[in-house]
Amino acid sequence: MSQFTNYPNGITSFGAPVMGGSIPFVFGYAGVGNYYFVDPTNGSNDNAGTSPRFAFATVEKANAVAISGDTIVMSTNTGHAVATGLLVATSRVNFVGADFGSRYVQQGSRIELSGAVDSAYALKVTGTRDSFSNIKIIQSSTHANALTVYQAGGEGTMMNSCSVVFGVANNLGSTSAYEVVMGEDSGSYSNCYFGTDVLLTSAARTVMLLKKVTGGSSADGAKSNVFVDCKYKIMSSDANATCIKLNSTSDAKFLNEWTRPRFTAVINQTNSAVVITNAIASASGFVEGTLAFYQPATFNFTNGCASVTDKVVVTASVASSNSWEGVTAA
């Protein structure tokens, strides 16, 4: 069978030789939980899913059978289409893109909702301590209700080296279109890209909205989340678009912190993409929690963010400065 490598249990579509017990060495092994493999090209949902040779065909099937402690390994260089938005409600399930990890963009394993499916999200998480690594999450449905890519309503979700993007521009003229609705409790996000620089936004929308998620774990919306080395990008013809926005004073609590965030407004004279005014917008009167941004960088924003008040703390690289350090197009 041509899809197999010369490793005893290996398969090229998973990007790594499989070493003993059908577990790829690159993912590590704690000796707990099952490993389920997903391969849309060579798999079948009639399979057991417990080895690359007998992989499932869809990530939805793997998500349906996984229980706490299980790991779902998604084949690389593959679009993992979902028929409806993927809802991860089971706790402690690990989703791994088998592409050797640590990619900032163009992850080889992709969860994508397309067509004209009436689903608000491509991925929604409401479980506890679920994790996602090296996966590109794409909302490509053209339906008018397909307004978000990822709804973060879990507790302790970990997302590393993932991209969260729209794949079509159909709804990017709506102020209610968001790559992320962040209602997470104690999430960890590192080396992730949110937003796109290839599709034009024509409305004053935002990339990441801090807001309660229906059915989510946190009644307080975004609280106690940590974002490290994450990038936010948007290309807009509306100068009032933003990268991060607090929906209301009741939608965030405790400390949410960003370390070395990068905010980029992409300029494109061909399609009238412009310099944007603020990278961050806070709800007026926000006094119950703190949004802290450490060593941020902005590109092509007139102001880094709205006024540094209402419990929004911006710490630039210059210790004595309480202003936003950024770069704006000439």
* Residue range 266-279, pLDDT digits in tens: 887 677 889 998 89
Position 22 scores a pLDDT of 42
**DSSP conformational letter for 320:** T
Superfamily for the 76-327 domain = Single-stranded right-handed beta-helix, Pectin lyase-like (2.160.20.10)
Strands 86-88 and 94-97: unpaired
Q: How far is CA 280 from CA 113, 149, 261, 274, 304, in A?
A: 28, 20, 11, 16, 7
pLDDT tens figures, 214-257: 998 888 899 999 999 999 999 999 999 999 999 998 899 998 99
Radius of gyration of the chain (CA): 20
Distance CA 57, CA 55 (A): 6
Q: First and final CA of the chain: distance in angstroms?
A: 57
Query: Please, are residues 207 and 179 in contact by the beta-carbon 8 Å criterion?
Result: yes
Position 191 scores a pLDDT of 95
% of the chain exceeding 70 in pLDDT:
82
Position 324 scores a pLDDT of 40
Position 289 scores a pLDDT of 80
Distance CA 304, CA 324 (A): 5
Least reliable range by pLDDT among 32-41, 119-128, 286-295 = 286-295
pLDDT top residue among 3 and 40: 40
Least reliable range by pLDDT among 104-113, 124-133, 134-143, 305-314 = 305-314
Domain ranges of the chain: 1-71, 76-327
Position 303 scores a pLDDT of 79
Q: What is the mean pLDDT of the chain?
A: 84
pLDDT tens figures, 281-310: 888 777 778 888 888 888 998 876 544 444
Residue 58 has pLDDT above 60, yes or no: yes
pLDDT tens figures, 162-191: 999 999 999 999 999 999 999 999 999 999
* Residue 322, SS3 per DSSP: coil
